[in-house]
Structure 1
Amino acid sequence: MECLSFGVMTNGVIATGNLNSTLAKKTSRNLDMNSRNPSDEHDDPLPPRYCIGIDLGTTNCVLAYVDTEASATDTGASPANANAEFTVHTFLVPQWVDLGVAESRSTLPSFHYTLHPSEKLPRSDAHDWLNPTDDALASCVGEYARIAGLLHPGRQIASAKSWLSHEGVDRTADLLPWHGDHDVPRRSPADASSSYLKHLADAWDAEHPDHPMSQQDIVITLPASFDEVARELTIRAAKMAGLPRIQLIEEPQAAFYAWLDRHRNEWQDLVQVGQLILVCDIGGGTTDLTLIRVRPADSNDQSNVVQFHRVAVGKHLILGGDNLDLAVAKAAEAKLGRTLSPRQWQQLLAAARQTKETFLSVPRPERTTIHLPGEGSSLIGGGLSVEMTAEEVDSLLLDGFFPDVEMECEVDSQQSGFQEVGLPYAADPAVTKHLAEFLREHRRTGLDDATADGTAADPSKLKESDQVNLVLFNGGVLTAPAIRERVIGSLTKWFSEPAVLESARLDLAVAQGAAHYAMVRRGHGVRIAANLARTYFMQIEQNPPRAVCVIPADAQAGQSFRIDQVPMDLRVGVPVSFPLWVSSTRLADRPGEVVDIDPNTMTPLPPIQTALKDRKRRDQSTMQIVIESELSEIGTVGLFCVSDAKRWRLEFDIRGTLETDRESHDYAGESAGIVDEETLDECRQLISRVFVEGTLKPSLLIKRLQTTIGTSRDQWPPALLRQLWESLMDVQENRRRSPAHESRWLNLAGFALRPGYGVAVDDWRTSQTWRMIYGKISHPDHQVRAESYVMWRRIAGGMTAGQQSQLATSLGRWLLAGTSNQDMAEANEAWRTIGSLERLPIDQKRSFATAVMESLDRKKASPLYPSLFWTLGRLASRVLAYGPLNLILPATDVSHWLQKLSHSPSLNTSDEATKRLAAFTITQMTRRCDDRFRDVDQPTRDRALSLLDRLGAPDHWIELVKNGGQLDHEEQQAVFGDTLPLGIELRG
């Protein structure tokens, strides 16, 4: 049996194969990127009265709006008149600013706070909707949430927007606040974002009961560099807040629309054809760079002299005000001369934000003092204080983040960026370096385009247009005059001094521009021609890796493309995965062009996965298809397989955003080797002889397969292993012939699918294995059950969190009971299976780790010591093999267990193999990763180093604990507990 493992085309034909129809139903964990299109036409004959713009910011949210009826009344024009004047207003948002004090303010701080049991919000007569619920733990958003977090940082969610774009965690999981207090309910980044939107909607509805927000035209802003998943999760957050129909606009564009709104009667006198406008947007969480080129207006446009074309957007950089806060906090901690506890660090970080704002404002003091409360018994009178000067902060922030650099300077990708709060901040904090790189790559973008009337552009004028002529600042960081001056100084050094497009309120501009854009969509004002500015590719070949352009960089919203230059043969009923790539530098490729994949200029996207079905065709039939693509009105990407009159949507797999699934873009597994079809047929025959014909003993299968293939099984490449898995699935019903048959089937199936990821559509294979095997073991035999645990352990990396939790619960019923009649071989494998389940909730992991510690204190459990140590190492590891960062056990737990372990009889074993396992476990538990919330404290690290010395640990393990580093291949296999397939590595 064959299976299509990815959409690879050779000579124009996708290599596909047969797959049992019972396997063809793909588990759906996908987000339909287009079925929720909020841009559908309204059923009402007249458009909604209000156009609303929402800046869903990292640090603050703002709501602006246009009352179309009031605007029409003011000018005496019909609301439908495209030339009617309109006014953009800022909505004042009621919110708690202190216990018992509610005020309306122009910004809603993007903080969510769960009240401490000692806090209680009273009822507000003026704002009934603002009144707290009767829940045991009430919560609020806004100003009080920001202020209260200074004292109780473990109860505050901040920077939810940055987490929406964090690929290292499950963005749909409840993980915020990051390392929060134990009694605080967790929320996903989308849920936290929705709480801000819901607050805005409730406030609006209270003042406009006849015009609820959900029925108005709503435009929400997001960073231009947000990936497709972050965009979709923003849409999801809006739906969760009761806003099912929204439009998205990129923040730099919105900022420019705000400038056009403020200068609507004079902007044509302030810009000239041929100029290049840089929008530099540095907010609380991201740095967003955008270039807008000024071109002649279309000859059919009699109202305007010029057109604005957005021609380039920068890379996604989690680099903004949060990084400046971290830098100030780091400097303050250094002046204190001590390493703060995680709780004190959170308090310092919140105080550093205020310190930064104080020193970047005008006027400002020469010095200020940061005060931190004490902890524990020293809470009263045990506080800390540190003084920071304006000169220190200038050097830290201006020289560190906005240094004077040459245009040719390179961004340093080798530095270790801040990891203090779990976010993947940009490795190089120098914004001016990123700006230089962006302008080197894009300042000439669009110069070769024809003019609006179709004639060739004047080369002499084009030569003058490769420099920044105008700059528009946006974002909270750029409210600081000193920072704006640094950016202008860099641009002046590289080109000549640009003119600054003035903006009155940088904190309000994005929302105001979004509201203005909503009116532009109705035909009022000038529209920015915003091309996609990114090129999308679908990988079609493996060796060498090549891809076809499916959406060009100059695509407009609502535009579609048919890629019929590369027709493909595709088999119905077979799961397929199409690796996608995006580039912000390859902007000239056209749809249908086939190009070599260059990881330096192309970035992998979440995979597109589907299983095509056609009721009019028999299962597994082959059809010729072409790819169609489209860019929706809200800026999301749609891809379709098309055959005759049928059309199948290809959908992004949200789970594919995790790093384990992105490995399929590298094709490390597939490129590790292939086996000829004749050899594969012989392997299938051997499997059939064991499980179907019964002419070969199960115990001889592995030996015969090794002879046929010509190598030991550890050298079998992943492509071959997955083919063997498919053959095993074909005969899975026949595993019931005997306990020996079932044991062999389980053992080989797990070996063939390990580690559950690394080859395209492995998540589908794992889901099929789960569906057919979990709870369906046929023989109540210790060996059979042990082999089933081995299988789950081997493929755990491909299992969902729900599957892992279900498996752990069933195993825990008898493992935690500690019955004396447990079969040791079965118990050993069961414990190792528990250790491999890295997607278990924290509480479930903690309960198992606690049980392991108790067993290690019992000499009667000595036969289980090796498995118990291995399990503890996986459960308490500082760096997970494949799991998300939010599921790492707290360092305080590890410190407690290590102290107990230092007195455990299990370390006094004379067995060298067990001692080595114990040493490796301690290494995993205390390995340095330069993340305060994952790293153990220094006393624990010292204790670990002492234990490692006592156990005779290798020098590299001691180095991992002292200074951190990467595991070598042998150590990775020790973590995995098995040999890893060729070409596949663990994350650590």
Structure 2
Amino acid sequence: MCYVDTSAPDWQVATFRIPQCVDLGQIEKRETLPSFHYELTASEAGGQTGVLPWQNDSAKPTSCVGVFARDAGARHPGRRIHSAKSWLSHDGVDRTADFLPWHGDADVPRMSPVAASSEYLRHLRGAWDDAFAEHPLHEQDVVITLPASFDEVARELTIKAAKQAGLKRVYLIEEPQAAFYAWIDGHRHDWQDLVRPGQLILVCDIGGGTTDLTLIRVRPAGQSNDQVQFHRVAVGRHLILGGDNMDLAVAKLAEAKLNETSAGTPPSASQWDRMVQASRTVKESMLDEARGASFTLNVAAEGAKLLAGAIQVELTAEEIDATLLDGFFPRVPLSDRPSRQQSGFQEFGLPYAADPAITRHLAEFLSEHRRSGIDEQDTESADRPDLVLFNGGVLAAPAIRQRIVDSLRDWFQAPGETWQPQVLASQRLDLAVARGAAYYAMVRRGQGVRIAANLGRSYYMQVQHDPPRALCLIPGNAEAGQQFRADDHPLHLQVGAPVQFPLWVSSTRLADRVGDLVAIDPNEMSALPPICTALVRGRRREETELSVFVESELSEIGTVGMYCVDAEHGKRWKLEFDIRSTLETDRDAHTGSGETAGIVDSETVEACADAIESTFGAEPDIKPNQIVKRLESITETSRNDWPPTLIRELWQFMADLETGRRKTPAHEARWLNLAGFCLRPGYGVAVDDWRVQQMWRMLHGRLAFPASQSRTESMILWRRIAGGLTAGQQQQLAAPMLAALRSKSRRIEPHEANEFWRLIASLERLDVRQKIELGDIALKEFGRKKNVRLRPALLWALGRLGGRQPAYGPLNTTIPVAKVESWIESLVAIDPPESDVPLTLVQLGRKTGDRYRDIAAATRDKAATYLQSRQAADHFVTLLTDGGTLDRDEETAVFGDSLPLGIRLGR
């Protein structure tokens, strides 16, 4: 944390020394606050003899951040949160949900990535306010640094974390840009002697969790070459790749050597955590210039095993070089490209970059962008990086810096030329971004040297599916505070209906202008969460269309805002980023997989609408039990083959005629069945989130007939669309069901029990503890003789509750391995005759490559042997032992229903 006293005439950037716990009862001021959060054990909390100055003396803290959190967490990894910033940019989990520490100890309260980030900022605020009570932090301009490649959702959530910490005047700056500002500040009297117009500067920022690449071009200021300006012209893709991956690689090396020299069992999950922590020390020591010939990695034993369970592995310098330098920084040609396959690093649940070779990512980045910012008349500007600025903890290692310099020399040195890029000296890699952020705050006030930081990314809204085309909304040369209006191509907005616009971003198409209509090329453009608005829909015949254009802005704090504007009256609608769609439900909808599975002609659709109206309208002449056959006759296809475009249209017709379900119990039962079928699986088609919310408002707690048939059909409906329900809605559905299971006096009707269990097990966003409780109850009920007919449903429920690969839910709701292993052991011991058993075992034990989700090898082998003894399908055994993807029939069995064409389960 750095700051500037703006009242000083000759202002300087100063480092704020942050008070923090470095040991129990020991508080010291340090220049950095390690971004770790740690939940104290009971003995540690009781032994605290001191609190931080701004904390309440009467209430001993139960958690801490900083040095002690880092060090104590190395001993108790299940109590420590780390990599919150990487989780904040992870689109495979609910970033606002409480799930950290990832696979933490059972007694440790969970926090979201947003809350953890807020805790660090809250600590800084408390420390600052204690030191400068007359200038509290919430009254200051606060600049927060973040990776250049953070997506818009991660940026918005960073602002949210700051607000939760009580910070009001917040601005964002990208870390590579901040690092360059720190270099300018460090050379404020001679930087002009170190650069010249035409040069290209590469900022290479490799931290613990991410790699950020940025290019800055040096241009003349005005007509004279005596003055220069800095223009940021390119930003690399988001790469969750850094020091954490290197620690994992060293740990995997140690584990492999351990397996070679010992017949012992692999490290347990907790031992593995400590092995990764020890590997960080190995990495830092063996990349130092003063390293020895080898390093011994030690991991203490667990519990009563004492010395017999300790791990000790000797790693040589040559092995470390092969793992770290050749593995992450190989000497590759400039034409080499990173692999796009799934990453081998699955240890912490994070979506690590598929290819760990940072030099390949660098080669791709420079090949795409080294001419960025050069126009046709510009013959002076370089197309190779003359200067390199290193930043981030990984690049403190001289060997890694040299490997990158050598790679750049190999790529760009002309034949017969002696050339290599000049490295710009940085005073402190660990303080650079904070110093640069403070300097940037002064630049915002008109002082210091400004980097002309173009956005470096162009934003597009998809407006056409076949062929896919998009409208450029924000150009790559945009700067903070600018507004743009794409009025050359007016759009038609249907009022009274949900609308969703898929959003795309490109860091290579930087020459497109606002209003340009361009073809979508997935090789050049990446999908972002869609932006959407949904107005309450009236009867479809009353809908109107408006001519609108899109207005967009790049805010001063670094976030993107977009609006639909009525071309005639000027009415504006804010287009919000659909943050939920970045979880598991709707994030792939805008790729068109569901929409392109088949289009039905308008005459057929209208005939279907008439049939539905003839069943549920004012003058019905089709009986409820005949409507599905009538629709199959009209479409000339089985209902399981209706494409998503058709079934969502049919759902809308059903929704428009929702009051028709109230005619008779038979009408309601058929309406519930058909509406749920047409909206299944609750995601996969644009604006499905909106449709599911409409269904919730229409139905939850509002059955017209409390008959058993309506109750059963409503359970089927909620199961079918569970993937589109929020965690809160799933909790509301589950609460009375859990109460019924826990109660000795309340009874579940036998004829409803099957759907009861299938519904509650399909609610994948329930709390882990609730899912464990449900699984234990299901296993207990499975053993009762009276439940013979219920056993298939109980097996299905066990598979969904304990599945290693959720059907749609976020990974943070996965049940711990030990509990799932106990369920597998129980099922194998029971050896039930039901044909559903193999699928249940596959769901419980399917290999993922994630150590924290995968069952132990011994349990997996036992389950595989059992499947073979039952002559289960070979693919089931492969999924269990090697992993892989489900085929269509297996997906149908796991989902419990046929899936619409073009829509797959989440993984």
TM bracket, shorter-chain basis: over 0.9
The answer to whether the aligner puts 1:519 opposite 2:445 as a matched pair is: no
Once the two structures are overlaid, the 10-residue window that deviates more, 408-417 or 437-446, is 408-417
Once the two structures are overlaid, the 10-residue window that deviates more, 800-809 or 221-230, is 800-809
Instruction: Number of aligned residue pairs: give it.
Output: 891
Deviation string 1:781-819 (CA, Å, 9 cap, x unpaired) is: 222211111111110110101111111122233345477
The CA distance in 2 between the partners of 1:124 and 1:263, in whole Å, is 44
Call closer, same or farther: CA 1:339–1:901 in 2, change over 3 Å: same
The CA distance in 1 between the partners of 2:163 and 2:145, in whole Å, is 15
2:256 maps to which of 334, 339, 353: 334
Which consecutive residues of structure 2, in runs of 5 or more, have no partner in the other structure? 260-264, 414-419
1:306 maps to which of 228, 253, 257: 228
Tell me the secondary structure at the aligned position of residue 703 of structure 2: coil
Aligned position for 1:421: 348
Aligned position for 1:443: 370
Aligned position for 1:190: 114
Return the offset for 1:684.
1.5
Return the offset for 1:865.
1.0
Aligned position for 1:684: 609
Aligned position for 1:475: 392
Call closer, same or farther: CA 1:373–1:132 in 2, change over 3 Å: farther
The answer to whether the aligner puts 1:225 opposite 2:137 as a matched pair is: no
The answer to whether the aligner puts 1:595 opposite 2:518 as a matched pair is: yes
Q: Residue 51 of structure 2 contacts residue 57 of structure 2 at CA under 8 Å; is this kept in 1?
A: no
Call closer, same or farther: CA 1:583–1:133 in 2, change over 3 Å: farther
Once the two structures are overlaid, the 10-residue window that deviates more, 489-498 or 408-417, is 408-417
Provide the aligned C-alpha RMSD in A: 1.9
The CA distance in 2 between the partners of 1:869 and 1:126, in whole Å, is 51
Return the offset for 1:413.
1.3
Aligned position for 2:17: 92
The CA distance in 1 between the partners of 2:729 and 2:797, in whole Å, is 19
Q: Residue 651 of structure 2 contacts residue 679 of structure 2 at CA under 8 Å; is this kept in 1?
A: yes
Aligned position for 2:417: none
Aligned position for 1:40: none
The CA distance in 1 between the partners of 2:217 and 2:671, in whole Å, is 63
Q: Residue 612 of structure 1 contacts residue 648 of structure 1 at CA under 8 Å; is this kept in 2?
A: no
Aligned position for 1:361: 288
Matches within 5 A, 1:552-951: 552-611=475-534, 620-643=543-566, 644-692=569-617, 693-817=619-743, 822-904=748-830, 907-909=831-833, 914-915=834-835, 917-951=836-870
Return the offset for 1:820.
9.7
Deviation string 1:300-343 (CA, Å, 9 cap, x unpaired) is: xx997111000000000000010111011111122222421111
The CA distance in 1 between the partners of 2:317 and 2:624, in whole Å, is 76
Residue 494 of structure 1 aligns with an amino acid whose one-letter code is W
Q: Residue 204 of structure 2 contacts residue 389 of structure 2 at CA under 8 Å; is this kept in 1?
A: yes
Q: Residue 121 of structure 1 contacts residue 132 of structure 1 at CA under 8 Å; is this kept in 2?
A: no
Return the offset for 1:859.
2.1
Q: Residue 25 of structure 2 contacts residue 51 of structure 2 at CA under 8 Å; is this kept in 1?
A: no
The CA distance in 2 between the partners of 1:303 and 1:409, in whole Å, is 37
Deviation string 1:596-624 (CA, Å, 9 cap, x unpaired) is: 11112111111101135899xx9743321
The CA distance in 2 between the partners of 1:133 and 1:830, in whole Å, is 49
Higher relative contact order (CA 8 A, sep 6+): 1
Q: Residue 740 of structure 2 contacts residue 746 of structure 2 at CA under 8 Å; is this kept in 1?
A: no
The CA distance in 2 between the partners of 1:717 and 1:132, in whole Å, is 64
Matches within 5 A, 1:488-499: 488-496=405-413, 497-499=420-422
The CA distance in 1 between the partners of 2:20 and 2:46, in whole Å, is 11
Return the offset for 1:689.
1.5
The CA distance in 2 between the partners of 1:855 and 1:192, in whole Å, is 40
Aligned position for 1:11: none
Identical pairs, percent: 58
Deviation string 1:701-759 (CA, Å, 9 cap, x unpaired) is: 00011101111111111111011111111111121211111110000000000000011
Tell me the secondary structure at the aligned position of residue 685 of structure 2: coil
Aligned position for 1:268: 192
Return the offset for 1:122.
6.2
Aligned position for 2:243: 321
Aligned position for 1:534: 457
Call closer, same or farther: CA 1:670–1:88 in 2, change over 3 Å: same
The CA distance in 1 between the partners of 2:867 and 2:57, in whole Å, is 53
Aligned position for 1:65: 3
Deviation string 1:459-489 (CA, Å, 9 cap, x unpaired) is: 3x24xx1111000000000000000000000
The CA distance in 2 between the partners of 1:713 and 1:382, in whole Å, is 59
The CA distance in 1 between the partners of 2:494 and 2:906, in whole Å, is 34
The answer to whether the aligner puts 1:974 opposite 2:893 as a matched pair is: yes
Which consecutive residues of structure 1, in runs of 5 or more, have no partner in the other structure? 1-62, 73-84, 450-455
Return the offset for 1:540.
0.4
1:502 maps to which of 422, 425, 432: 425
Residue 931 of structure 1 aligns with an amino acid whose one-letter code is D
Q: Residue 123 of structure 1 contacts residue 131 of structure 1 at CA under 8 Å; is this kept in 2?
A: no
Residue 572 of structure 2 aligns with an amino acid whose one-letter code is R
1:215 maps to which of 139, 142, 158: 139
The CA distance in 2 between the partners of 1:953 and 1:381, in whole Å, is 40
Residue 207 of structure 1 aligns with an amino acid whose one-letter code is A
The answer to whether the aligner puts 1:952 opposite 2:879 as a matched pair is: no
Matches within 5 A, 1:72-91: 72=9, 85-91=10-16
Once the two structures are overlaid, the 10-residue window that deviates more, 894-903 or 157-166, is 894-903
Aligned position for 1:433: 360
TM-score w.r.t. the length of structure 1 is 0.88
Q: Residue 585 of structure 2 contacts residue 682 of structure 2 at CA under 8 Å; is this kept in 1?
A: no
The CA distance in 1 between the partners of 2:790 and 2:491, in whole Å, is 54
Q: Residue 344 of structure 2 contacts residue 849 of structure 2 at CA under 8 Å; is this kept in 1?
A: no
Q: Residue 801 of structure 2 contacts residue 815 of structure 2 at CA under 8 Å; is this kept in 1?
A: yes
Call closer, same or farther: CA 1:614–1:724 in 2, change over 3 Å: closer
Return the offset for 1:216.
1.1
Call closer, same or farther: CA 1:520–1:101 in 2, change over 3 Å: same
Tell me the secondary structure at the aligned position of residue 42 of structure 2: coil
Return the offset for 1:822.
4.2
Call closer, same or farther: CA 1:125–1:969 in 2, change over 3 Å: closer
Aligned position for 1:50: none
Return the offset for 1:524.
1.1
Q: Residue 584 of structure 2 contacts residue 810 of structure 2 at CA under 8 Å; is this kept in 1?
A: no
Return the offset for 1:416.
2.9
The CA distance in 1 between the partners of 2:770 and 2:469, in whole Å, is 44
Tell me the secondary structure at the aligned position of residue 486 of structure 2: strand
Q: Residue 417 of structure 1 contacts residue 424 of structure 1 at CA under 8 Å; is this kept in 2?
A: no
Call closer, same or farther: CA 1:948–1:785 in 2, change over 3 Å: same
The CA distance in 1 between the partners of 2:340 and 2:151, in whole Å, is 20
Call closer, same or farther: CA 1:178–1:254 in 2, change over 3 Å: same
Tell me the secondary structure at the aligned position of residue 799 of structure 2: helix
Residue 89 of structure 1 aligns with an amino acid whose one-letter code is A
Residue 552 of structure 1 aligns with an amino acid whose one-letter code is P
The CA distance in 2 between the partners of 1:131 and 1:480, in whole Å, is 41
Q: Residue 114 of structure 1 contacts residue 140 of structure 1 at CA under 8 Å; is this kept in 2?
A: yes
Aligned position for 1:20: none
Q: Residue 804 of structure 1 contacts residue 840 of structure 1 at CA under 8 Å; is this kept in 2?
A: yes
Residue 521 of structure 2 aligns with an amino acid whose one-letter code is D
Residue 547 of structure 1 aligns with an amino acid whose one-letter code is A
1:113 maps to which of 38, 44, 48: 38
The CA distance in 2 between the partners of 1:645 and 1:736, in whole Å, is 41
Call closer, same or farther: CA 1:633–1:408 in 2, change over 3 Å: same
Tell me the secondary structure at the aligned position of residue 185 of structure 1: coil
